[in-house]
């Protein structure tokens, strides 16, 4: 949506989600992020994420979108599970997500 290098970490939001499997958990978390972006106008630079079982808790660091300072690419309209992939890798996860723009 924006170049994250231009996003300051002046605001912090606690965001949580749950899901029956890794793909649903990721989808639900991304939908929560999209909701915060749409309702509060925030864009994010960094996330601290903790996953326990089927629950995710995260701190999202960012700031309000400033179209004069942030180079806006495409705005995300939705998250799709089409071709989504979440794979354990090197003690973490690798994910592939397609967004509706």
Interval 10-55: pLDDT, tens: 999 999 999 999 999 999 999 999 999 999 999 999 999 999 999 9
Q: What is residue 15's predicted lDDT score, i.e. its pLDDT?
A: 96
Residues of the chain with pLDDT > 90, as a percent, come to 72
Token digits of residue 8? 């300051």
Please name which of 40, 37, 36, 101 lies closest in space to residue 74, comparing C-alpha atoms: 101
Contacts of residue 91, Cβ cutoff 8 Å, sequence gap at least 6: none
pLDDT at 101: 80
CA–CA separation, 75 and 83 (whole Å): 20
State residue 100's pLDDT score: 81
> Domains of the chain, with CATH numbers?
4-100 (3.55.10.10)
- Side-chain-side CA neighbours of 30 within 13 Å: the count stands at 19
Q: Residue 74 pLDDT > 80, yes or no? A: no
Whole-angstrom Cα distance, residue 43 to residue 77? Answer: 14
pTM for this model (two decimals): 0.86
The CA distance from 94 to 98, in Å, is: 14
């Amino acid at each position: 949506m924006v170049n994250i290098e231009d996003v300051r970490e002046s605001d912090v939001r606690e965001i949580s989600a749950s899901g029956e499997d890794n793909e649903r958990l990721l989808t639900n978390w991304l939908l929560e992020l999209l909701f915060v972006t749409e309702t509060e106008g925030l864009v994010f630079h960094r996330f601290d994420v903790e996953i326990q079982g089927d629950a995710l808790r995260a701190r999202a660091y960012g700031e309000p979108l400033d179209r004069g300072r942030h180079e806006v690419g495409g705005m995300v309209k939705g998250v799709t599970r089409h071709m989504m992939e979440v794979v354990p890798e090197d003690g973490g996860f690798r994910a592939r997500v397609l967004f509706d723009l």
